[in-house]
Amino acid sequence: MKSIPDWVNDPDGSKGLMKDTTITKEFDPDKTVERYWVKEDWIFDKESSRMHVRILGIAPIQTIRNDDESFRAVAPAFWVYYPDLRPMLARFEVYNGKNFGARMSWEELFESRMFGSRIIKSTVNNPNDQFIFSYIKDPILALLEGENVKEKIFNYEQDLWSY
C-alpha cells in the first residue's frame, strides 16, 4: 500500500489530501522467472522398505528488483498443487539432450527426477520451520547444510538395511 495524492477530492493539491492505493507491476514470466521451487515429501514405506518421493507443489520463482534494477530478492509468485498440474504436464514434451530418440513429457521429467536441485528447507530438526538461508547467512555454508540434510535422508534409508 502506498499513499498518493487524491486528485478527485483535491484537484489542485492545496488541501494535501492523500488516498491509499495498491501499485502493481505487470507479471512477465519471460523476464522475471528464472527457476522453480519444488516442494516434496520424502516418505519411507515400512511395508515395502522403500523411500518414496511425492511432489506436492511447484512455484515459479520471481526475481524482485529495486527501482534501479539491482537485485533485491527472490520469492515464489504462486504455488500450484502438483497432482492437479500433472495432466497438463503429461501433454507437453520437453527437450531431452541426453536421448534424442526417446520422447519425454514434463510429467515424466519430474517423476523421474531429471532436474538439478538443492535443499533450501527441511522439517528435520527445524522446529521454527525456517529456510536454511534464514539461519545460515553464508551461501556456501547454507549449501553444505542442504547437503547435510540430503546425507541424513540417505543414512536413514541405509540404516534400515543394517543386519
Per-range mean pLDDT, top range of 14-18, 27-31, 145-149: 145-149
Given a cut of 80, whether residue 25 has pLDDT beyond it is: no
**Alpha-carbon torsion, ordered 152, 156, 158, 161, to 10 deg:** 170
Which amino acid belongs to residue 73?
A: A
Confidence of residue 1 (pLDDT cuts 50, 70, 90): low
Q: What's the sign of the alpha-carbon dihedral 115, 119, 121, 123?
A: positive
Q: How many CB atoms lie within 10 A of CB 149?
A: 19
Q: Reply yes or no on whether the pLDDT at 163 is more than 60.
A: no
Least confident of 8-12, 24-28, 57-61, 89-93: 24-28
Could you tell me which of 108, 107, 70, 63 has the C-alpha nearest to residue 87?
107
Q: What is the pLDDT of residues 47-105, one digit of tens each?
A: 887 888 899 999 999 888 788 888 888 888 889 999 999 999 999 998 877 777 788 89
pLDDT for residue 38 is more than 60: yes
Q: If you average pLDDT over residues 25-50, what whole number do you get?
A: 82
pTM, two decimals, is: 0.70
Question: Buried (b) or exposed (e) across 70-104, using 16+ Cβ within 10 A?
Answer: eeeeeeeeeeeebeebeeebeeeeeeeeeeeeeee
- pLDDT attached to residue 107: 92
Three-state secondary-structure class, residue 87: helix
Q: What is the pLDDT of residue 57?
A: 94
